[in-house]
Structure 1
């Protein structure tokens, strides 16, 4: 079968006219353990710390592994689940938040280590009536160690899409 030059030109024109959304990048789906660099066991980022049995509290001790980040994730287009801890909020909703791996992280317990927290910025506000819902966040991940009054954070994510996480 031979293709004419006219057929090839028409196919090339159709290819370039195809909307970009058809060729959009598929995000890499991450779990929280993916934020820890390969070869660093989770058990080695949190030490024993101080336990107060009378007050029923635990203040974990983090070592240098707690701030080690997975180098493969810098600049990666990802999708991951988590919970919203609001930072910037208005009547329209939340535009900046810390994504945490479990409900109550940073509020009711000591914060997780830096490599288990993601600072998320979103142009589209997440509704304030959905703060307790787990979410999927899709966007571009980067390394950005930062300290806040709440916790030390290892990653930052520019959210392109935030949606309710469904089992």
Structure 2
């Protein structure tokens, strides 16, 4: 049987536990971590089509391109990338696609779904810093989604963003 003091300490611990979990350090991940273990990057891209008239190559992704690393579902992560904004306001951008290289989805065919991340930022990222590489920190989810720029396999609810320093 617990006395009053023990009960209060126990209840205080229950309230503090979620806050302590949020204060945990994020797991730093890179783009290769989005590919499930055992699936080589070279097996994500299928044959593709060469458009000689426009001098472009349109990759055809095989089933490995939509395989997701389920170990990242619900993980608190920090990852680098580049911003492809969906909507930019005077305050900046809150909803964007995080991509592994500059111009992905705009000037080139989009990478496979397991190399694209939807981001919803808690605070707008300044519009004058859209071409800077960034670190995005937040809770990651695995889920295939279609956008007008390409199919994404991941999303992050970002609670922190900062410039990526080389």
Normalization by structure 1: what TM-score? 0.86
Q: Residue 146 of structure 1 corresponds to which residue in structure 2?
A: 145
How many residues in Structure 1 have an aligned counterpart in Structure 2?
Answer: 155
Q: Residue 4 of structure 2 corresponds to which residue in structure 1?
A: none
Q: Runs of 5+ in structure 2 lacking a partner?
A: 1-8
**Residues in 1 aligned to 2:129 and 2:74: alpha-carbon distance in whole angstroms:** 28
What secondary structure, in the 3-state scheme, does the structure 2 residue paired with 1:47 have?
A: coil
Q: Residue 79 of structure 1 corresponds to which residue in structure 2?
A: 78
**1:22 shift after superposition:** 10
What secondary structure, in the 3-state scheme, does the structure 2 residue paired with 1:62 have?
A: coil
**Residues in 2 aligned to 1:141 and 1:42: alpha-carbon distance in whole angstroms:** 21
Cα pair distance change 1:66/1:88, threshold 3 Å: same
Q: Residue 137 of structure 1 corresponds to which residue in structure 2?
A: 136
**Residues in 1 aligned to 2:73 and 2:20: alpha-carbon distance in whole angstroms:** 23
**1:23 shift after superposition:** 7.8
Aligned-pair Cα RMSD in Å: 2.2
**Residues in 2 aligned to 1:69 and 1:89: alpha-carbon distance in whole angstroms:** 29
Cα pair distance change 1:55/1:125, threshold 3 Å: same
* Residue 35 of structure 1 pairs with residue 28 of structure 2: no
Structure with the bigger percentage of strand: 1
Q: Residue 48 of structure 2 corresponds to which residue in structure 1?
A: 49
**Residues in 2 aligned to 1:156 and 1:149: alpha-carbon distance in whole angstroms:** 16
Runs of 4+ in 1 over 4 A off after TM superposition: 20-23
Cα pair distance change 1:92/1:49, threshold 3 Å: same
Q: Runs of 5+ in structure 1 lacking a partner?
A: 1-11
